[in-house]
Amino acid sequence: MKTYEEINQKIHDGSAIVLTAEEMIDFVEENGVEYAAKEIDVVTTGTFGMMCSSGAFLNFGHTDPPIKMEKLWLNDVEAYHGNAAVDCYIGATKSASASNFNYGGGHVLEDLLRGRKIHLKATAYATDCYPNTEVETDLNLEDLNQAILCNPRNAYERYTCAVNTSNKTIYTYMGKLLPRLGNGHYSGSGELSPINNDPNYETIGVGTHIFLCGGDGIITGEGTQHNPKNHFGTLMVQGDMKSMSSEFLAGTSLAGYGNTCFIGLGVPIPILNENIAKNCAIKDEDILTTVQDYSNGRLNRPVLANLSYAELKTGTIDVEGKEINVSSISSLSKARKIAQLLKNRIKKGTFALYKPVKPISKSTNFKTMRVAKVSTFVREVMKRPVIVSVKSSLSEIAKTVLEKQVNYAIVTDYDQQLIGFLTTFDLTKHVAQIGQNLEDIMIPRDKIQTISASEPVDLAIRKMQKFKISSLVVIGDQNRVVGLITAEDLIREENRGGI
């Protein structure tokens, strides 16, 4: 048993024995937990991932005459200004432009760390004490009174591996995912990740001193969406940006998704007892996660496989019998570097441990939003489709349309995959001898608007309005045609009070 005071004394003397979480695995394997607990003083961890819940409080100092900023932009990125006169919160995910994600809040933070000037523009209404209504200037980090990185949710314990089973490429916060299980992405540094090395929060607590983006930070509490019971614990952290480096904070643009930023974070774990030593020897093999299908657009994504970080780090995994390439979207090399740098700082005596002043909750529940208005889904409103085979003759199709008393037919192949769409108007074209074959007169697949059965009807309404059409083909599992939803169905549902 060691105490914080004893370990800090050793750090001060330069005699502390420090290992990274990766080195600790080998040490425990060779020497056993009992010896490791006695011998090792601190184990360092690290992670470098995109953390959307990041941002900074900035204070610009007062102008003369003074202004109480009401709206404000930093390099065209809008910052939140619901606080004092010249304070703001710049969030990592806010984009300068809604149409592209070339530059966002994360880039503003990175530019500040790079020493670049940031263009500030603010407007205000005048008051007796704040008469100024407009200010425009260029400021760098040194010009600011405070720049406090304050991230409500960082250091995810682990994350899911994202794949895409649909027929089209999707762009998500887990990166670009190719169709038909073309690739997969995971995040988190596994055996190097802070909370995985202290899963019971025995040393990680409120007040813990951490490495944050190259500088000094502290843990201020549990993070938002902290979900410790399901191994999705998170931490709220803050630190002085003036101590940080752009090597460990990087703004990002994810195509088709938006802006965010990479955050480098390292937590030292004091080896106070054998149990802590044992936990710090956790291996990627023992850190489990799931492979989830990100193509269904819903909160609960289908789980396709269970596996460990060790399997993920090999670069190929097996999902539903298919071997697919996976890669990390958080930097494992930077995570390693952070653990190493933190180790060096502790060994040199420049980084002391703080004893937590309050523990992090191990029992917080994670809830979904309670929505007063319950969504109706396409599946509940759609009707059964009238489907004809692509091999049918036009007279067969005409007969089907008459029999079913509809004014359309959906054309599919043997596997019920969508090929085309035919209205009675299109059939008339044949009678008028404008086209001889089905292919000549039907609407081809790439011109047909579809919707998934599991999507909310609101999305169906939006699609119909956007494309000025009155029906959508509904696609279900394995991309099979399962229904048709029309404006008429939606009106009927609305009258029923469903929408």
**238 scored as a contact of other proteins (CB under 8 A):** no
Candidate list 25, 250, 276, 485; residue touching other proteins; CB under 8 A = 250
Q: Could you say which residues in the range 259-278 bind other proteins, by CB under 8 A?
A: 260, 262
**332 scored as a contact of other proteins (CB under 8 A):** yes
Nearer to other proteins, 182 or 302 (CB): 182
**334 scored as a contact of other proteins (CB under 8 A):** yes
Candidate list 38, 62, 242, 336; residue touching other proteins; CB under 8 A = 336
Beta carbons within 8 Å of 150's beta carbon, 6+ residues apart = 55, 56, 57, 89, 237, 238
**Using CB under 8 A, which of the segments 1-9, 19-27, 117-125, 171-179 binds other proteins?**
171-179
Residue 171 CB, nearest distance to other proteins (Å)? Answer: 7
Q: Between 400 and 419, how does the x/- string for binding to other proteins read (CB under 8 A)?
A: -------------x---x--
Q: How many residues in the shown chain lie near other proteins by CB under 8 A? A: 40
Nearer to other proteins, 73 or 257 (CB): 257
Half-sphere exposure of 107 (CA within 13 A, CB side): 20
Residue 258 CB, nearest distance to other proteins (Å)? Answer: 10
Q: Between 121 and 150, how does the x/- string for binding to other proteins read (CB under 8 A)?
A: ------------------------------
Nearer to other proteins, 11 or 254 (CB): 254
CB atoms within 10 A of CB 477: 12
Residue 465 CB, nearest distance to other proteins (Å)? Answer: 26
Nearer to other proteins, 11 or 324 (CB): 324
Candidate list 154, 330, 416, 471; residue touching other proteins; CB under 8 A = 330
* Catalytic position from the list 52, 88, 129, 213: 129
Q: Could you say which residues in the range 172-211 bind other proteins, by CB under 8 A?
A: 175-176, 178-179, 182-185
Q: Could you say which residues in the range 300-319 bind other proteins, by CB under 8 A?
A: 315
Nearer to other proteins, 20 or 279 (CB): 20
Told to judge if 129 belongs to the known catalytic residues of this protein, a careful annotator would answer yes
**Using CB under 8 A, which of the segments 75-83, 250-258, 339-347, 487-495 binds other proteins?**
250-258
**84 scored as a contact of other proteins (CB under 8 A):** no
Distance CA(91)–CA(83), nearest Å, equals 14
- Residues lying near other proteins in the complex (CB under 8 A) are found at 48, 50, 102, 167-169, 171, 175-176, 178-179, 182-185, 250, 252-256, 260, 262, 315, 324-334, 336, 413, 417, 445-446
Report the catalytic residues.
129
